[in-house]
A = this chain, B = another copy of it.
Amino acid sequence: MGKASTIAVVAPGRALDASLVPLVQARAEAAGAELIMHPQCFAEDGHFAGSDSERLDALHQVMADERVDAVWFARGGYGAGRIAEAAMAALPEAARTKTYLGYSDAGFLLAALHKVGCDVAHGPMPQDGAREGGEAALDRALAWLVRRDEATLEPGLTRGVPAMAFNLTVLSHLVGTPMVPDLAGVDLLIEDVGEYLYATDRALLHVTGQESVRGVAQLRHGRFSDVPENDIPFGRGLEAMIKGWCERSGIRHGGSADIGHDAANKIVPFGPRGG
């Protein structure tokens, strides 16, 4: 997949904060890219950036647009999973020559598009411009899309070994559906945000209980941030929890990973990297 000079932004989940546009445009310009903000990024339909059909139509438009080198998902928040199966079912030919970047809820689309052979990567999104230090996150995403800058990559990735990264809650809702790619032999990286420890334990129970996940090469944990206080302390830390589920399910635990819902979130391209 080529380096990107034209990047289209669409919002498969929630709407992008319009106030971030000047910053995102400026960083794209600094990186030498032309950024096309699809107006659907600012649509509103209850929780979502427009209805399912509006979001799917916008995605299809940019996937089919031959001028577009990369599709950058604007924001997470839930919604991509409602259109991912339809997006992979009717794939415009031009869709296969692009790179797709996002994380969190956009993981539904990363999974589905990777499954049908598209080039996808887990990494920062335009909405991350709102974070403390978010400009660095935008620059990292753009450096990957525009220059394939290897300094942006999650440092534990191994050349030639396929990797995937997901929000754990999203992965927990992907497994067993038609959207999930083959996980066999993959270095699987997980992260999460805003989940109670008991909910994370339950998601790990579910995910590590799947035959498909038991076939990964190893599991590495990114950051699990903004964990709410339980009404009674859960009594077990996150790392012990993850190691415990790996041990139970016969999955190798490969240590920590530099991904998460924060400005430091590094890039994880799906599949094996050549070179």
Contacts and interface: CB of A to CB of B under 8 A. Distances in A.
A81 interface: yes
B210 A177 contact: yes
Interface stretch (A114-122, A197-205, A266-274): A197-205
Interface in A29-47: 45-47
B235 A81 contact: no
Contact of A177 (B45, B48, B78, B209): B209
Contact of A234 (B47, B81, B198, B232): B47
A48 B230 CA distance: 12
B47 A232 contact: yes
A78 B235 contact: no
Interface in A195-236: 197-198, 201-203, 205-206, 209-212, 230, 232-236
B177 A206 contact: yes
A11 interface: no
A178 interface: yes
The listed residue with most B CB atoms (<10 A of its CB), out of A46, A174, A178, A212, is A46
A177 B160 CA distance: 30
Given A81-B202, A205-B81, A46 B235 contact: yes
B48 A206 contact: no
A176 interface: yes
The listed residue with most B CB atoms (<10 A of its CB), out of A173, A174, A178, is A173
Contacts of A234: 46-47
Contacts of A87: none
A82 interface: yes
A79 to B, nearest CB: 8
A251 interface: no
Question: Which 8 pairs show the lowest CB-CB distances between chains A and B?
Answer: A46-B235, A177-B209, A173-B206, A176-B176, A78-B198, A47-B234, A176-B210, A81-B205
Given A78-B202, A173-B206, 19 more contacts: A47-B197, A47-B232, A47-B233, A48-B235, A78-B198, A81-B205, A82-B201, A172-B173, A172-B206, A173-B203, A173-B205, A175-B176, A176-B206, A176-B210, A176-B211, A177-B206, A177-B209, A177-B210, A178-B209
21 contacts: A46-B234, A46-B236, A47-B197, A47-B198, A47-B232, A47-B234, A47-B235, A78-B198, A78-B201, A81-B205, A172-B206, A173-B206, A175-B176, A176-B176, A176-B206, A176-B209, A176-B211, A177-B205, A177-B206, A177-B209, A179-B209
Interface of A: 45-48, 78, 81-82, 85, 172-179, 197-198, 201-203, 205-206, 209-212, 230, 232-236
